[in-house]
Copies of this chain bind each other. A is one copy, B any other.
Amino acid sequence: MKIRPSRPGRKARVKPRLDRSQIVQAALDLLDDVGFDALTMRNLAKKLGVKAASLYWHVHNKQDLLSLLADEICASMREPDRTLPWRRQLEELGNEYRHVLLAHRDAARVLAESGAPSGPHRLRLTEILFRTLLDAGFNHKDAAYAGFLVSDYVTMFVLDETQDVNTDAADASKDQSSDLQTWFKALPAHEYPSLIALADYLTAPNADERFRFGIEILENGLETRLERQ
């Protein structure tokens, strides 16, 4: 198994020569370790034992890196069984995408800031989504719009699902009242009756249940649209 073409001098592995995919992998590790805000070109370079400027030989800029990173994150996405009814397929797609976004720290933020899909994995993901909608019988325009809708829903959902954690933690640490539920109920009852009435579900939402709710609404809405089409 000793296939190592590059001359294996004594310290061959000390300078493994940078490489796009190596950079992306390191960025993903760094993301999981320190989160999106600390994912900087300089920290990434440090992790790779290199100077920040070196990265720019392999990557146009940070935007480019984020785009590559977003694609890498989507690499583990598995596609649903195409023989299932479209609603089931959409559910699988939604669940799978959500789990992909939950698999790495701040992944939703990476996806949100990485621009339109251009890498193979994200293109594949959107292809499957649109294909499912076309298979279901939507016309081109509706399929396109519905695809945006579903994919935006999942991204947005995970986005605030994961930054509620941050906010909660922040509030808990710096505010004396760690319960923002009590904060809610302390609002002027005359001005915000509905807010107060709903406080229980606004503050401690069951994420899985709430996600499921949104998917159901979207599916019901799409089905109605399909029937009337």
Contacts and interface: CB of A to CB of B under 8 A. Distances in A.
Contact of A221 (B134, B191, B192, B221): B221
Interface in A201-227: 201-202, 205, 210, 213-214, 216-225
Contacts of A213: 142, 145-146, 149
A141 B206 CA distance: 10
A49 B220 CA distance: 55
A191 B124 CA distance: 8
- The oligomer's copy count stands at 2
B225 A216 contact: yes
Given A187-B123, A198-B144, A217 B218 contact: yes
A217 B226 CA distance: 10
A142 B216 CA distance: 12
A200 B140 contact: yes
Interface string A24-41: 000000000000000000
